[in-house]
Amino acid sequence: MGFLLLAGLSLFWGLNWPGMKIILSELPAWWFRASCAVIGGGALLAISAASGNSIRPTGREFVQICICGAFNFVGWLMFSAYGVSLMGAGRAAIIAFTMPIWAAVFASLMLGEKFTAPKIIGLTLGIAGLSVLIGPEIAAVGRSPLGAFFMFAAAVSWAFGTTLFKRFEWSIPVASNVGWQLGTAALPIIAVAAVLEPLPDLTGISYEATLALLYIYSFPMVFCQWAYYKTVHLFPASIAAIGTLIVPVVGVYSSHLILGEPVGLQDLAALVLIVAALTCVLLIPNLRRLRR
């Protein structure tokens, strides 16, 4: 089940990137993200309740939910928004998807997860693949130090939140948990949106942006959020984080198909390196277990 969830994450989160480009050309970023948090959180809680699951966390769990939501959603969304606004999206992405490195470090310190050889090799190959993908733009990071700082903070925030989610004990199911995380995170995001941006005018939104909104609300904000934290529940935190490495590659190829953005040899090389990374981390250890 865990491998199917990671495959779904790679596809649906990857397709999120061209959808985001379409939407953000017509809607303010903060109000868009606020709506994602509200709709995603509400939908997950409704689905969980309709499935007969508990959606009532204990008092202690609610505090833990607020802490996890602060790092997984508030920190990630706010820091990445400022980072992308101050530097190119490509340069921002290479820093954002260093998240598995920090997740592996936090998981080692907080959860006692070991730095095995497959993990080290997989991380190295994965970061190499992302470096190839964004390669020509890496040198320009130095020209946007504040943007780079915000993207680094976003990656560390998400990694730390992932590790906390794995460390805490939960009595409610993943869908209820993530729904509450999104719901509590929506409040400060709405507050920031109200200060920084005018209310969006939805009367002139295009057909393409409407379809992109429906897609992002349904898949990246509902299915993918549930699926990612379900994989964190099923796998070690560092493995689940490394499983996200293929997302930007899918984003590049889906942007090529949907938006006509160019794809070259460096994109193919990045895909090969990242597939090799995932093979080292996810497939080889399981093949060894089967042989035993």
Q: Which residues contact 282 (CB under 8 A, 6 or more apart)?
A: 3, 6, 239, 242, 243
Per-residue pLDDT of 215-246, as tens digits, reads: 999 999 999 999 999 999 888 877 777 777 77
Per-residue pLDDT of 85-96, as tens digits, reads: 676 555 566 677
Q: Which residues contact 57 (CB under 8 A, 6 or more apart)?
A: 65, 170, 171, 172, 176, 177, 180
Give the per-residue pLDDT at 292: 55
Both tokens of 232, joined, read 């964190």
pTM assigned to the model = 0.83
Residue 140 neighbours by CB distance under 10 Å: 14
CA distance 110 to 46: 33
Give the per-residue pLDDT at 17: 76
